[in-house]
Amino acid sequence: MRWWQRLLGLLGLVTTIVAFPADVQALDDGSLSFKDAEVRLGDRLFFETRFSQFYFANADGDSNATLPKGDPLMEKVPVVLGEDLPGPFAGQGINCRQCHLGSDFLPEHLRAGRTYGDFSRRSPVPNRDDGQTVATRNSPIMIDIGMPREVPMLLHLDGEFVTHEDLIVDTMTGRNFGWLPTEVETAKKHIAKVVREDEGMNPRHIRDPDGNGIPYKTVLKGEDPLLQHQLIPAEYRIDVETASDDEILTAVAKLIHAYMDSLRFGTKNTFRESGSPYDLFLEKNALPAKPDPGEKAAAYSKRLLAEIEKRNSFDFVRPSDDYFLLHQQPYQFGPEELRGLKIFFSSGARKKADAGNCIACHPAPRFSDFSLHNNGVSQVEYDAIFGDGAFAKLEIPDLKTRNANHDEYLPATPAHPTAKGRFRQIPAKSRPGVTDLGVWSIYANPDFPKPQVALNQILCGEGGPAEEGCRPEEVLPLTVGYFKTPAVRDLGQSEPYFHTGEIDTIEEALRFYVSVAELAREGKLRNASPEMKDIHIDEEDVAPLAAFLRSLNEDYH
Exposure b/e, 134-171, CB count within 10 A at least 16 = b: ebbbbbbbbbbbbbeeebbbbbbbbbbbbebbbbbbbb
The identity of residue 287, as a single letter, is: L
How does pLDDT run across 111-161, given as a tens digit for each residue?
A: 889 999 999 999 999 999 999 999 999 998 999 888 889 999 999 999 999
Q: What's the rounded Cα separation, in Å, for the pair 87 and 551?
A: 31
φ/ψ of residue 85, rounded to 5: -105, 155
Q: What's the rounded Cα separation, in Å, for the pair 2 and 190?
A: 54
Instruction: Please check the confidence at residue 33 and state whether its pLDDT lies above 90.
Output: no
How does pLDDT run across 283-334, given as a tens digit for each residue?
A: 999 999 999 999 999 999 999 999 999 999 999 999 999 999 889 999 999 9
Q: Please name which of 21, 261, 76 lies closest in space to residue 163, comparing C-alpha atoms.
A: 261
CA 357 → CA 24, 287, 351, 367, distances in Å?
38, 21, 9, 12
- Contact assessment for residue 217 and residue 198, using Cβ atoms and an 8 Å cutoff: yes
How does pLDDT run across 326-382, given as a tens digit for each residue?
A: 899 999 999 999 999 999 999 977 667 779 999 999 999 999 999 999 999 999 999
Distance in Å from the first CA to the final CA of the chain: 21
Task: Give the alpha-carbon dihedral of 286, 291, 294, 299, to 10 degrees.
Answer: 110
pLDDT at 16: 45
The one-character DSSP state at 440 is: G
The identity of residue 352, as a single letter, is: K
Is residue 553 classed exposed, middle or buried when 0-12, 13-18 and 19+ CB atoms within 10 A define those classes?
buried
pLDDT at 463: 84
C-alpha triplet 233, 177, 92: angle, nearest 5°: 90
Give the model's confidence band at 225: pLDDT under 50 very low, under 70 low, under 90 confident, else very high. confident
The one-character DSSP state at 356 is: -
Number of neighbouring beta carbons within 10 Å of residue 393: 9
CA 457 → CA 183, 243, 249, 448, distances in Å?
33, 36, 29, 16
Spell out the domains of the chain, with CATH numbers in brackets.
Answer: 31-264 (1.10.760.10), 277-372+489-526+533-550 (no CATH), 395-434+439-480 (no CATH)
How does pLDDT run across 476-512, given as a tens digit for each residue?
A: 999 999 999 999 999 999 999 999 999 999 999 999 9
Q: Is the peptide bond before 319 cis (omega within 30 degrees of 0)?
A: no
Instruction: Please give the share of the chain, as a percent, with pLDDT higher than 70.
Output: 92
Instruction: Please check the confidence at residue 26 and state whether its pLDDT lies above 80.
Output: no
126: Cβ–Cβ under 8 A, 6 or more apart, which residues? 52, 53, 54, 71, 73, 93, 94, 177, 178
Q: Is the peptide bond before 107 cis (omega within 30 degrees of 0)?
A: yes
Q: What's the rounded Cα separation, in Å, for the pair 51 and 55?
A: 7
Q: What's the rounded Cα separation, in Å, for the pair 174 and 171?
A: 5
Instruction: Please check the confidence at residue 195 and state whether its pLDDT lies above 90.
Output: yes
How does pLDDT run across 506-532, given as a tens digit for each residue?
A: 999 999 999 999 999 999 999 999 999
Instruction: Please give the share of the chain, as a percent, with pLDDT higher than 90.
Output: 80
The one-character DSSP state at 81 is: T
Lowest mean pLDDT among 12-21, 251-260, 304-313, 410-419: 12-21
pLDDT at 34: 52
The answer to pTM > 0.85 is yes
